[in-house]
Amino acid sequence: MIASGQLRAGDAVPSVRALTTSHAVNAMTISKAYSLLEAEGLLQRQRGKPMTVAANTPESKGEHLQRLTLG
């Protein structure tokens, strides 16, 4: 959703529970993916609030997102 522009800086990403329910994917898989995106600097976590798209993304964001969408 970030790569396609559906989510922009500051937007909340769907919760792990919501994605688990809507896509029938294990919660640990989604949680791990969110953690990896956070480590890449694409998401930010604030205690007690929904995870959001990072405002200050890395310089290589465009290349990284292109790689994600192309495989």
Token code pair at residue 12: 């909340």
Contact 28, 43 (CB under 8 A): no
Instruction: Show the domain range for 29.
Output: 16-70
Q: Does 46 map to a domain?
A: yes
Q: Does 3 map to a domain?
A: no
Give per-residue pLDDT as tens, 1-57: 887 788 889 999 999 999 999 999 999 999 999 999 999 889 999 898 999 999 876
What's the pLDDT at 60?
46
Q: Does 10 map to a domain?
A: no
Contact 64, 40 (CB under 8 A): yes
User: Rounded CA gap, 62 and 71, in Å?
Assistant: 14
Question: Which segments of the chain are extended strands (E)?
Answer: 43-44, 52-53
Give per-residue pLDDT as tens, 26-41: 999 999 999 999 998 8
Q: Does 2 map to a domain?
A: no
Number of domains in the chain: 1
Contact 2, 69 (CB under 8 A): no
Q: Does 5 map to a domain?
A: no
